[in-house]
Structure 1
């Protein structure tokens, strides 16, 4: 039974709605996807855990965007962990698999392997970017790092930037099932109140850290009671229920929210995927002059580039790079 559940639900995001509470949500389980992201790098465990949390948040949030759109999380700070970046590529066609990638930059000499992860990001910001494709201007929302975890930052982001009460319950770590090697697993639940018909709330400040908005600043009356009740139910979830694989997400929703009338929709499968290519590297270098390209050329007479997300290695003839090379190619017809 465990193996069947694992096959059915690993690397999936299941959207649902609590009809009684006017709350929507997602349940995510990550297994092979997360292992693929992390085994490509040799991050210290504390950095791996931050990347795992960011990837899980990306899966939960990304499922809300439209087909062919791209959603990115960017976390930047002045601490030993400088950058955590993730991308979610929505599928081109409904029912196809979405793709996720993630990467981190950190100062090896400053990271405390045994210390808490979030504090090692330091002061900075949490951002969500949504790219709707060619011919559009990407949307970007930014909030300061706060709350003690990346999931708390995401909750603050939605309250502050979107004025949508949001709650995450996440669990992630290395685990071992009988007869298998140790691997990363992650699971989580996201709750989000449906947008209010009355529109945005004008406030000078909220009750959150640094005066940022929190859920209690947005909802009141019956909506506030519904939100509080759903959160109390989510508080009863156990880590093993989030990660699985013994408990299917559908069973978890019934266990947690059967009184809220949960209704599930089609699950979204996710896998590791990277959009890098030689053509995209050439395009990124097209803004440089031949002199600039010369400074990038190695002693072996080539220009190299490595993808930070997937580790792909590219090598180029410097004469074919830069805007001067492109102009020469056009002139030669």
Structure 2
């Protein structure tokens, strides 16, 4: 029998604030979303772990963007796991769910399925992109791969690019609830110090990996003490508290931060969602000539495309694709 708390809190992001410490945060629980993201593909275990971690980070970070915006995480490296990409689509209106999708590219012959996942990314970069809609230039922030996890990369990104001390505690994996099949579950907590009125500038004595800024380089005095205290409290969190179906996020916040004055806001529902369509495929192919389209045509006389995120399969008549086909349509019109 499914518990009421599981129904209420699965696939949600709960924003909160620690009034005593001037720290904000989010608690995320992903159940059906994570299962849908990963069930679209037959990933090796190491790749699954990275996609699950990236999906949790995306849910926690994406909750702050405005309605109808899109936030993307992109991790690219020179190792056997080449790309991890996730998207967070903010709700179209107040009260609507946000949508998350994810995808990975890897060299199957080089990936060590049960090896340390993060080390198989190699050298590369961690990027956050925010699309604010038509007529706006997308925001893009990039930092080098650093640390031993994607969470550590995200912490470095916020310290270096936004100069916001940030901390993540994540847990994910396969679980089996009574009467249900085994499936993916994940949960996490994000802490972030409120932005300062006057952000810092680059420092020559930064203590992060590769000379990048770390949280300890940004905060000092009482602010630093508050940040360290909140992090010590978060260190006590247990995996079952992050992903267990019977532990409510509100109870978790009280258990961890009751002396910090936790204050919660409205929870944001999330679901798996992909925006691919036949029209978008046509648009992406509109830059190609008829000769280029001919090279993409199969022996059966069709052009096919598969969505990397959701696995949707599309088939097209090659004579309807490319800019020359569009020109013909315009002439006939």
Normalising to structure 2: TM-score of the pair?
Answer: 0.99
Aligned to 1:48: 48
Q: Could you tell me whether the CA contact under 8 Å between 1:297 and 1:318 is conserved in 2?
A: yes
Deviation sequence 1:35-73 (CA, Å, 0-9, x none): 011111100111111100000000000001000000000
Between the aligned partners of 2:167 and 2:101, the Cα distance in structure 1 is 23
Between the aligned partners of 2:147 and 2:45, the Cα distance in structure 1 is 21
Aligned to 1:220: 220
Between the aligned partners of 1:174 and 1:38, the Cα distance in structure 2 is 11
Answering whether residue 70 of structure 2 is matched by residue 74 of structure 1, we say no
Q: Could you tell me whether the CA contact under 8 Å between 1:129 and 1:138 is conserved in 2?
A: yes
Gaps of 5+ in 2: none
Aligned to 2:246: 246
Between the aligned partners of 1:229 and 1:114, the Cα distance in structure 2 is 35
Aligned to 1:114: 114
SS in 2 for 1:133: coil
Aligned to 1:31: 31
Aligned to 1:325: 325
SS in 2 for 1:66: coil
Deviation sequence 1:212-243 (CA, Å, 0-9, x none): 10000000111111101100110110010011
Deviation sequence 1:262-304 (CA, Å, 0-9, x none): 0000000000000000000001001111111111111111111
Between the aligned partners of 1:191 and 1:267, the Cα distance in structure 2 is 16
Aligned to 1:130: 130
Q: What's the offset of the Cα at 1:205?
A: 4.6
Between the aligned partners of 1:177 and 1:286, the Cα distance in structure 2 is 48
Aligned residues: 333
Between the aligned partners of 2:225 and 2:198, the Cα distance in structure 1 is 18
Between the aligned partners of 2:2 and 2:238, the Cα distance in structure 1 is 18
SS in 2 for 1:55: helix
Between the aligned partners of 2:268 and 2:221, the Cα distance in structure 1 is 34
Q: Could you tell me whether the CA contact under 8 Å between 1:126 and 1:153 is conserved in 2?
A: yes
- Greater mean alpha carbon deviation, residues 197-206 or residues 207-216: 197-206
Between the aligned partners of 2:25 and 2:309, the Cα distance in structure 1 is 28
SS in 1 for 2:3: helix
Tell me the C-alpha RMSD between the 2 structures. 0.9
Deviation sequence 1:194-215 (CA, Å, 0-9, x none): 0011223331351011001000
Between the aligned partners of 1:50 and 1:186, the Cα distance in structure 2 is 12
Q: What's the offset of the Cα at 1:327?
A: 0.8
Q: Could you tell me whether the CA contact under 8 Å between 1:201 and 1:218 is conserved in 2?
A: no
Normalising to structure 1: TM-score of the pair?
Answer: 0.99
The equivalences for 1:185-200 within 5 A come to: 185-200=185-200
Aligned to 2:303: 303
Answering whether residue 53 of structure 2 is matched by residue 62 of structure 1, we say no
Gaps of 5+ in 1: none
